[in-house]
C-alpha cells in the first residue's frame, strides 16, 4: 500500500484566486510569489502558496499566473455623476470653470435621472480601472446609492451641504436633514456608508458648519470637504475673516480623525500642525489640481509630519478620467518635483495612497485596503505579461510607473466578481454608451 496518499480537501470555500504575485500592501516586503487568496462568504480566509491550495475544496478556482493580485483601489474623492460633463469645459481657472460652466450646467441638468446615468457611467469606468471603493460627494446621493447597490460596488456617500439651494435641497438645514435620513437608511449596509460632505469653507457658513459638526459627533460619521483648493479662496477668506480656512475649521472644532480635507494645495506650517495634531486626513487629487492649475499638495512633507494622505481623481469634469493607476503615477511624479527629491513618494508609497491610506481616511481600514485574512475580498488582478511591461524586475514598480488601467483584467468586491477578463458581469456597457450619447446631444445643444 502506497504511503503517498495526497491530502484530502477538507474545507469548502467559495473561491480561490491563484496569482503570479500577491501584493498585500501589509508591508513593502509582502509581495508574495505564486500565492493564492482563499475567499469565503466575501472575506479573505487564507493566503498561502499556490502549491498548497488542495487543502481547500473551492466552488471556483481562478488561475492568473502572469498577474499581480492586489487590494482594489479606494478612490477617496470624486463626483461620480459629473462624468456626464466630461470634456464640457476644459482649460479654465477653477472659479471661471465653476461660475460660468459647471454651476450653470448643474442648474440646468442635475436631477435624479442625470445622477443615475452619470453615476452608472462612472461606475463602469471605475470597475474597469480597478476601483472597488469610491468616495462620492454629489447631489441626489440616494440615487447614487441605488446605482452603487445594484452594481455591487462599495461606496461612501458624502451628502452635500451648501448655504445656497440646489435641485436637491433648499437650505443648509434641508441638506443636513436629507443627509441624516440617508445615513439612517444605510447604517448597517454591507457596502454603502454615509458621511457629511460640506462643499467648501467658502460655500458653507459657520452656523451650518456647527450643525455639521454636531451631526457628525452624534452619528459618528465622517466629514469630507474641499479645503484650500486654490490660493484665491485662501486670500478671500483672509480678506473676509482675517484667518485661513483650516484655522477657522479648527476653531469650529471640525478637525478630527473623522475629517478629510480634500486638495490642500495651499498649506502653511501652522496648518500642517493643526491637521497633524487633530488626526485629520488629506485627500490628494493631483490631476485635477494640475488641470485647474490650482497648486500642488506637498504630500511628502505631510507624510513626514505623520498626516495620512489618500488619493482621489476628483470628478471627470476636471481630470478628465477616473483612472487611479494614472492618478497614483502622477502623484508619485509630482511629489518628486514638488520636493525636488527623486526619492519622494516611491512606488510602494504611491500604491499605499490608492489603497490602505484611502481605507484609513474613510475609517474602513479594518475591512478593506490590504490583503489580509479577515478583510473583505475587494481585489483586483493586473496582467503583467504585456510587452510594454517587460522585462519585469519589480511588480510594484511596474504597476506604478509602467502599467495602465487596460492591464487590469478582474475586479472583485466582497468576493463578488464585477469584471472577469475585462468583461463586466453586472452592467451592460452598450446601455451606458447609449445614455451617455443621448446626454451629450442634449447638453451640447444647450446654451448657458
Ligand atoms: Zn471635488
pLDDT mean over 248-263: 97
Predicted confidence band of residue 447 (pLDDT cuts 50, 70, 90): low
Q: Give the CATH number of the domain where residue 66 resides.
A: 2.30.40.10
Please identify, among 321, 337, 361, the residue that sits at the C-terminal boundary of a domain: 361
Q: Which three cell numbers stand for residue 228?
A: 484650500
Q: Is 415 left (phi over 0), alpha (psi -120 to 50) or beta?
A: left
Ligand 1 centroid vs 259 CA: distance in angstroms?
15
Q: Quick one: pLDDT at residue 446? A: 76
Ligand 1 centroid vs 201 CA: distance in angstroms?
13
Ligand 1 centroid vs 108 CA: distance in angstroms?
20
Q: Give the CATH number of the domain where residue 121 resides.
A: 3.20.20.140
- % of the chain with per-residue pLDDT over 70: 98
The yes-or-no verdict on residue 329 having pLDDT over 90 is yes
Q: Are residues 66 and 85 in the same domain?
A: no
What gap in Å lies between CA 92 and CA 90, rounded to an integer? 6
pLDDT mean over 182-208: 97
Express each pLDDT in 385-426 by its tens digit: 999 999 999 999 999 999 999 999 999 999 999 999 999 999
Ligand 1 centroid vs 78 CA: distance in angstroms?
6
Is 421 exposed, middle or buried, given 0-12, 13-18 or 19+ CB atoms closer than 10 A? exposed
Ligand 1 centroid vs 4 CA: distance in angstroms?
61
Q: Are residues 330 and 418 in the same domain?
A: no
Contact 127, 432 (CB under 8 A): no
Q: Are residues 315 and 298 in the same domain?
A: yes
State the chain's mean pLDDT as an integer.
95
Which residues hold their Cβ within 5 A of ligand 1, which is an ion?
314
CB burial string 224-244: b at 16+ within 10 A, e below? bbbbbbbeebbeebeeeeeeb
Predicted confidence band of residue 3 (pLDDT cuts 50, 70, 90): very low
Ligand 1 centroid vs 409 CA: distance in angstroms?
28
Ligand 1 centroid vs 230 CA: distance in angstroms?
12
Q: Are residues 33 and 101 in the same domain?
A: no
Ligand 1 centroid vs 314 CA: distance in angstroms?
5
Ligand 1 centroid vs 423 CA: distance in angstroms?
29
Q: Are residues 241 and 333 in the same domain?
A: yes
Ligand 1 centroid vs 69 CA: distance in angstroms?
29
What gap in Å lies between CA 140 and CA 178, rounded to an integer? 10
Could you tell me if residue 398 is inside a domain?
yes
Express each pLDDT in 208-232 by its tens digit: 999 999 999 999 999 999 999 999 9
Express each pLDDT in 344-394 by its tens digit: 999 999 999 999 999 999 999 999 999 999 999 999 999 999 999 999 999
Contact 156, 136 (CB under 8 A): yes
**DSSP letters for 171-205:** SHHHHHHHHHHHHHHTTT-SSEEEEEEE--GGGS-
Ligand 1 centroid vs 32 CA: distance in angstroms?
36
The yes-or-no verdict on residue 334 having pLDDT over 60 is yes
Ligand 1 centroid vs 235 CA: distance in angstroms?
20
Q: Quick one: pLDDT at residue 4? A: 53
Q: Quick one: pLDDT at residue 95? A: 84
Contact 74, 355 (CB under 8 A): yes
Ligand 1 centroid vs 286 CA: distance in angstroms?
11
Could you tell me if residue 437 is inside a domain?
no
Q: Count how many domains the chain has.
A: 2
Q: How is residue 301 annotated by DSSP? A: H
Ligand 1 centroid vs 142 CA: distance in angstroms?
19
Q: Quick one: pLDDT at residue 98? A: 86
What gap in Å lies between CA 174 and CA 164, rounded to an integer? 11
Q: Which three cell numbers stand for residue 435?
A: 445614455
Ligand 1 centroid vs 327 CA: distance in angstroms?
14
Ligand 1 centroid vs 152 CA: distance in angstroms?
24
Range of the domain at 373: 11-71+368-424
- % of the chain with per-residue pLDDT over 90: 91
Q: Are residues 132 and 254 in the same domain?
A: yes
Q: Are residues 183 and 199 in the same domain?
A: yes
Place of cell 469548502: 12
Q: Quick one: pLDDT at residue 9? A: 63
227's CB contacts (< 8 A; 6+ apart) are 200, 201, 245, 246, 249, 261, 262, 263, 264
Q: Are residues 62 and 155 in the same domain?
A: no
What gap in Å lies between CA 16 and CA 403, rounded to an integer? 25
Question: How far is residue 318 CA from its own chain's centroid?
Answer: 15
What gap in Å lies between CA 240 and CA 242, rounded to an integer? 6
**What dihedral angle (degrees, nearest 10) is formed by the CA atoms of 420, 423, 426, 432?**
150
Q: Quick one: pLDDT at residue 351? A: 98
Closest by CA to 446, choosing from 83, 92, 117, 105, is 105
Q: Are residues 340 and 391 in the same domain?
A: no
Ligand 1 centroid vs 176 CA: distance in angstroms?
19
> Using only C-alpha atoms, what is the Rg of the chain?
22
Please identify, among 318, 338, 361, the residue that sits at the C-terminal boundary of a domain: 361
Ligand 1 centroid vs 382 CA: distance in angstroms?
28
Contact 20, 65 (CB under 8 A): yes
Could you tell me if residue 312 is inside a domain?
yes
Ligand 1 centroid vs 184 CA: distance in angstroms?
25
In Å, what is the CA distance from 72 to each residue of 19, 313, 356, 416?
Answer: 15, 15, 10, 12
Ligand 1 centroid vs 159 CA: distance in angstroms?
13
pLDDT mean over 324-345: 97
Ligand 1 centroid vs 59 CA: distance in angstroms?
42
Q: Quick one: pLDDT at residue 6? A: 53
Please identify, among 311, 330, 361, the residue that sits at the C-terminal boundary of a domain: 361
Ligand 1 centroid vs 225 CA: distance in angstroms?
8
Between helices 112-128 and 141-150, what is the axis angle to 10°? 40
Ligand 1 centroid vs 263 CA: distance in angstroms?
8
Ligand 1 centroid vs 444 CA: distance in angstroms?
23
Q: Quick one: pLDDT at residue 448? A: 63
Q: Are residues 198 and 336 in the same domain?
A: yes
pLDDT mean over 87-94: 88
Ligand 1 centroid vs 364 CA: distance in angstroms?
21
Could you tell me if residue 435 is inside a domain?
no
Ligand 1 centroid vs 332 CA: distance in angstroms?
20
Alpha carbons within 13 A on the beta-carbon side of 147: 26
Angle at 15 between CA 12 and CA 21, to 5 degrees: 125
Q: Are residues 377 and 387 in the same domain?
A: yes
Could you tell me if residue 442 is inside a domain?
no
Angle at 64 between CA 61 and CA 66, to 5 degrees: 165
Could you tell me if residue 54 is inside a domain?
yes
Ligand 1 centroid vs 275 CA: distance in angstroms?
19
Contact 133, 444 (CB under 8 A): no
pLDDT mean over 2-24: 81
Could you tell me if residue 356 is inside a domain?
yes
Ligand 1 centroid vs 10 CA: distance in angstroms?
50
Q: Are residues 189 and 242 in the same domain?
A: yes
Could you tell me if residue 443 is inside a domain?
no
Ligand 1 centroid vs 229 CA: distance in angstroms?
9
Amino acid at each position: 500500500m502506497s504511503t503517498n496518499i495526497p491530502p484530502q480537501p477538507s474545507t469548502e470555500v467559495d473561491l480561490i484566486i491563484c496569482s503570479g504575485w500577491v501584493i498585500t500592501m501589509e508591508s513593502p516586503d509582502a509581495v508574495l510569489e505564486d500565492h493564492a487568496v482563499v475567499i469565503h462568504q466575501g472575506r479573505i480566509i487564507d493566503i498561502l502558496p499556490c502549491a498548497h491550495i488542495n487543502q481547500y475544496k473551492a466552488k471556483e478556482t481562478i488561475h492568473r499566473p502572469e498577474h499581480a493580485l492586489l487590494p482594489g483601489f479606494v478612490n477617496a474623492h470624486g463626483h461620480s455623476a459629473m462624468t456626464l460633463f466630461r470634456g464640457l469645459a476644459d482649460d479654465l481657472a477653477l472659479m471661471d470653470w465653476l461660475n460660468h460652466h459647471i454651476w450653470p450646467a448643474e442648474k440646468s441638468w442635475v436631477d435624479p435621472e442625470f445622477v443615475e446615468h452619470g453615476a452608472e457611467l462612472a461606475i463602469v469606468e471605475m470597475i474597469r480601472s480597478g476601483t472597488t471603493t469610491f468616495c462620492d460627494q454629489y447631489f441626489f446621493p440616494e440615487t447614487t446609492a441605488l446605482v452603487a447597490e445594484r452594481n455591487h460596488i462599495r461606496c461612501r456617500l458624502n451628502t452635500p451641504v451648501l448655504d445656497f439651494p440646489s435641485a436637491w435641497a433648499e437650505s443648509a438645514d434641508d441638506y443636513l436633514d436629507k443627509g441624516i435620513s440617508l445615513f439612517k437608511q444605510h447604517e448597517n449596509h454591507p457596502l454603502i456608508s454615509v458621511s457629511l460632505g460640506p462643499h467648501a469653507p467658502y460655500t458653507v457658513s459657520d452656523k451650518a458648519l456647527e450643525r455639521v459638526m454636531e451631526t457628525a459627533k452624534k452619528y459618528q460619521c465622517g466629514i469630507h470637504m474641499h479645503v484650500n483648493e486654490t490660493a484665491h479662496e485662501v486670500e478671500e477668506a483672509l480678506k473676509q475673516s482675517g484667518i485661513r480656512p483650516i484655522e477657522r475649521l479648527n476653531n469650529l472644532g471640525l478637525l478630527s480623525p473623522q475629517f478629510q480635507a480634500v486638495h490642500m494645495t495651499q498649506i502653511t506650517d501652522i496648518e500642517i500642525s493643526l491637521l497633524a495634531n487633530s488626526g485629520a486626513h488629506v485627500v490628494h487629487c493631483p490631476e485635477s489640481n494640475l488641470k485647474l492649475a490650482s497648486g500642488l499638495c506637498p504630500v511628502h512633507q505631510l507624510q513626514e509630519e505623520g498626516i495620512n494622505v489618500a488619493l482621489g481623481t476628483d470628478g471627470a469634469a476636471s481630470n478628465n478620467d477616473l483612472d487611479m493607476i494614472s492618478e497614483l503615477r502622477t502623484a508619485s511624479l509630482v511629489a518628486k518635483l514638488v520636493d525636488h527629491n527623486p526619492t519622494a513618494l516611491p512606488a510602494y508609497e504611491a500604491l499605499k495612497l490608492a489603497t490602505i491610506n484611502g481605507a484609513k481616511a474613510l475609517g474602513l481600514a479594518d475591512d478593506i485596503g490590504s490583503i489580509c485574512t479577515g478583510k473583505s475580498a475587494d481585489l483586483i488582478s493586473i496582467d503583467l505579461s504585456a510587452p510594454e511591461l517587460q522585462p519585469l524586475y519589480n511588480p510594484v514598480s511596474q504597476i506604478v510607473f509602467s502599467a495602465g488601467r487596460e492591464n487590469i483584467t478582474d475586479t472583485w468586491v466582497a468576493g463578488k466578481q464585477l469584471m472577469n477578463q475585462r468583461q463586466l458581469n453586472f452592467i451592460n456597457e452598450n446601455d451606458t454608451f447609449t445614455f451617455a450619447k443621448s446626454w451629450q446631444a442634449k447638453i451640447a445643444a444647450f446654451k448657458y
